Structure 1
Amino acid sequence: MQRYFLISENGNPSFLITGIEYKIFPDLGFNPVPVSILVILIKILLMRITHAGFLFITGFILYGCNNPKNTGEAPVVVDTIVKVTEPVVNIPLTDSGNFYKRMVGTVAGKPVVLNLQRAGHQFSGIYYFTQVGSFIELGPASPENKKAGDSIVLEEFTSEKFDNRNEQPSLPGKWIFTYAGHAIEGVWVDAHGNRYPLALREQYDLTSYTFNVLSYSDSARLFPGHKNSSQAHTREDFVIPAGNYSAGTWLNTEIMKMLDDTYKSTMALSYDSLINRIHHSFFTDYHEQGKNLDEKEAESLTYMNYDLEQNIKIYWNDKSYLVLSHFGYSYAGGAHGNYGATFYCYNVAEKKRMRLSDITSADTLLLQKLLEENFKKRAGLKPNEKLNTILFDNFLKPNKNFYFSGNELIFSYQPYEIAAYVYGQIDIGIPFTDLKGYLNPIFQKRMGLP
């Protein structure tokens, strides 16, 4: 990845890649190393040629990384007192460019991190207040709220359908903002209608990673010669590694396995080939299911409008940890479709998927106790009320579908797993403060937990 120009802010070295801010924190183990003055001058000359007139270099310091696992290469960092800000140009909503951006800034004056994705014309994201840590999802606004002039409107939402009975129902919060390439500005409207300013800019450090977004869609008629025939539809939107870091190839394989659980790294497929393979299998099965149906009834076979959707989003991208959500939806006849999200936690620095023991040593009995207590709080149940007021059973055990935020370990239960379909996917968090003494020391240190 080409590094174009570099800056220093508040005494901490940082650098920009095509207008994107990358920070390097001194506590991550970066030490100055001696280098040839000639090499430095050549690097500066190359940057000046690339962005003529953009830079006025007044000083430089070359840093070397003593932990190359984070990026796969030793970063070259030049320090300068000149900060160059690219022109702010609003990108029209008709632009169909896909992207992922890790954005850092403030909402209502409080620090937040937003993982923003765009697939086609649709924006979505996951954000969290750094002092609180809990994830909040953002999705397209409902029809009555999606118009706000030239601004983009996203609504906060959850797949859970049970309400805390001790609270009055409230409207979802909203983000109303303009998007300007590497920055967004606007207002956050909270659940009570109060409006607060928000401003964020794309930013990475050496323990977070760059990604792009790929999108695919296709369809097939049940009766190809009939224009009003039932159809099968497919849609995939997912992140892929972007940039030159050593874990990129490994992450590509992990993502391919999510999209197709029969995929093996020895297949060495491109994403195009993998998606074509998925679509071919789905459409072949679709036509097999409908081969004995009468084409004369083509317009009435609404139950044969099949769907297959997948998306992969980023929840956490920091401290060399990555949390991905793989959401799947399918409809193949019946009363309703089926959906669910599976979470994948990765230690990118070590190129491995994390186990629960990488986060906590708490046993199943302790985790069950904490899950039951926190579920009751979340659902508004009194301490003496039974869990099966909502759940199938009067107990709640940990499962293997876990992930984490900056302040809690979260277990996620798909529809029908512990409760009726109407309750949706249920996520229950256990604060790290409840796991004090049971946290993995390496995880605890890297996350900066007390």
Structure 2
Amino acid sequence: MKKVLLLLLLTPALFFSCKHSDKKSNAPSGSDSLSAQVPDNYYLQYEGTIGNQPATMHVVKFGNTYDVNYAYNNEGQPIDLLFQKDSLLKNDSLFFTEFAPRSVQEDSSGTDAALHLVIRPDGITGLKLNSKNEQQQVQFHPKAGGSAFVPVGYMDSIRIPGFKKDTPTAFSSLVLLEPGTTPNHWFTALLKQYILGAQKPDSASLQTTLTQFGRSFIENFRDDIDTMKASDNEEEAPFSMMHYDQQISSNLIYNNHGYAVLSVGNYAYTGGAHGMYGQTMLCLDMQQQKALALSDVLKVDSATLQPILERQLRARYKIAPDKPLTDILFDERLALTDNFYFTTKGIGFIYQPYEVAAYAVGVVDVWVPYADLRPYLQPAFVQRMGI
């Protein structure tokens, strides 16, 4: 699942060219409101095929950045695409690779599949290439239905000259989706609380909040550098203390039947051995205007659910039945989490780095097909999803 690390590969020059850039698309776009003039920044849901397999794809375009995922309709598990660069290939196509933890890649060569895509509001075309350079045609068109969303963002950067060995830099890139209809204060309040860490969300717009959030990061960096200058300890200052990074990205992985499942990746680096990243899933009932709890989807106790998750963890990470889970996890049991998502074919559970395993393991994503959960699905959820 979500590739917070794909943000890390964005070219820093992009951010240094976006000084104090606050952007929001100026017209709603989404699956149910594709206008003739789609703005430069948009979210769209597409349906089509990769090879001969039907699939659904979600795209967020913001400035020169792309956040893309897709799922084969017969599988339902999201596959995130890593935007490798913003330079164009042949036929104006963009270069992506599939992103997955190394331990769960099906390709035994260890090489990610590559996709060359031409992405436009009226459709997506291109090729998918595996490690043997075998090609599959990619073709998508906008999908009807679903809720309309627009990306709201803030990008900023700073360089501070005057140091002998290096030029301190910091950049901030923040992109979140919000409903593309009339203001949805309940939705904005959820983003402020669960993504931006507000204890008591205020009435400010999401754009205003993101701008304040990003500028605060830049100003804190400036203060840290000023403190370093004042102490005259540049010679002792490590390189890592001079380059800060803050990134938030978002995309939907499901958008139908009045439900929207939002995946939000975040990354922050303010010095030290490495940055911290994670992935937050928000399952939203757009009709009832609320976030869903796991109990809205499943009626199951922890004693029943835990072994189901552990069985799927073993399969996904190739842990033999006679091997302890501590081959990957800190403990011999997998704790339950409220950080979940769902699509047409199953439910996934996300664990952040350090939550149940070492940082090197990355985000742990446990996918459970509905077939394994059939007795425990809430009847109202089953009826509305049509499963």
Whether TM exceeds 0.5 here: the answer is yes
Deviations 1:216-258 (A, max 9, x none): 112345x5766954133211122222135xx844323333334
Quote the offset at 1:162 in angstroms. Answer: 2.8
Equivalent AA in structure 2 for residue 168 of structure 1: S
Choose the corresponding residue for 1:351, options 285, 289, 292. 289
Quote the offset at 1:197 in angstroms. Answer: 1.5
Does 2:63 align with 1:123? no
Quote the offset at 1:16 in angstroms. Answer: 7.7
Give the SS at the match of 1:134: coil
TM-score normalised by length of structure 2:
0.82
Deviations 1:253-275 (A, max 9, x none): 3333344221645x321334212
- Kindly indicate whether the alpha-carbon contact (under 8 Å) linking 1:189 and 1:195 is maintained by their aligned counterparts in 2: yes
Does 2:103 align with 1:154? no
The match for 1:100 is: 43
Does 2:78 align with 1:135? yes
Superposed counterparts of 1:386-425, under 5 Å: 386-425=324-363
Equivalent AA in structure 1 for residue 186 of structure 2: W
The match for 1:302 is: 239
Equivalent AA in structure 1 for residue 350 of structure 2: S
Quote the offset at 1:191 in angstroms. Answer: 5.0
- Kindly indicate whether the alpha-carbon contact (under 8 Å) linking 1:163 and 1:169 is maintained by their aligned counterparts in 2: no
Quote the offset at 1:444 in angstroms. Answer: 1.0
How many corresponding residue pairs?
356
Equivalent AA in structure 1 for residue 55 of structure 2: V
Q: 1:288 to 1:185 in 2, by over 3 A?
A: closer
- Kindly indicate whether the alpha-carbon contact (under 8 Å) linking 1:140 and 1:146 is maintained by their aligned counterparts in 2: no
Q: Which structure 1 segments of 5+ residues have no match?
A: 4-13, 21-90
Quote the offset at 1:298 in angstroms. Answer: 4.9
Equivalent AA in structure 2 for residue 274 of structure 1: T
Equivalent AA in structure 2 for residue 201 of structure 1: H
Choose the corresponding residue for 2:54, options 107, 111, 116. 111
Deviations 1:148-203 (A, max 9, x none): 44212221102x34347x97234212222323431112222245432122211112
Quote the offset at 1:276 in angstroms. Answer: 3.1
The match for 1:74 is: none
The match for 2:35 is: 18
Task: Point out which structure has higher relative CO (alpha carbons under 8 A, 6+ apart).
Answer: 2
The match for 1:286 is: 221
CA distance in 1, matches of 2:357, 2:212: 34
| Bigger shift: residues 280-289 or 176-185 | 280-289
Deviations 1:365-400 (A, max 9, x none): 111101111111111121111111111111112111
CA distance in 1, matches of 2:121, 2:104: 37
Quote the offset at 1:302 in angstroms. Answer: 2.0
Give the SS at the match of 2:240: helix
Q: 1:262 to 1:213 in 2, by over 3 A?
A: same
Give the SS at the match of 1:232: strand
- Kindly indicate whether the alpha-carbon contact (under 8 Å) linking 1:364 and 1:397 is maintained by their aligned counterparts in 2: no
Choose the corresponding residue for 1:185, options 125, 132, 145. 125
- Kindly indicate whether the alpha-carbon contact (under 8 Å) linking 2:67 and 2:251 is maintained by their aligned counterparts in 1: no
Give the SS at the match of 1:251: helix
Equivalent AA in structure 2 for residue 257 of structure 1: Q
CA distance in 2, matches of 1:335, 1:16: 45
Quote the offset at 1:110 in angstroms. Answer: 2.0
TM-score normalised by length of structure 1:
0.71
Deviations 1:66-93 (A, max 9, x none): xxxxxxxxxxxxxxxxxxxxxxxxx9xx
Deviations 1:83-129 (A, max 9, x none): xxxxxxxx9xxxx9221111111221222111111121122211111
- Kindly indicate whether the alpha-carbon contact (under 8 Å) linking 1:360 and 1:438 is maintained by their aligned counterparts in 2: yes
Identity %: 26
Does 2:190 align with 1:270? no
| Bigger shift: residues 420-429 or 288-297 | 288-297
| Bigger shift: residues 211-220 or 413-422 | 211-220
CA distance in 2, matches of 1:110, 1:99: 26
Q: 1:291 to 1:435 in 2, by over 3 A?
A: same
Give the SS at the match of 2:216: helix
The structure whose Rg is larger is 1
The match for 1:252 is: 188
CA distance in 2, matches of 1:196, 1:219: 39
The match for 2:11 is: none
Deviations 1:271-316 (A, max 9, x none): 3421232134324443454454236665865222111111122111
The match for 1:71 is: none
Give the SS at the match of 1:374: helix
- Kindly indicate whether the alpha-carbon contact (under 8 Å) linking 2:109 and 2:131 is maintained by their aligned counterparts in 1: no
Give the SS at the match of 1:445: helix
The match for 1:209 is: 147
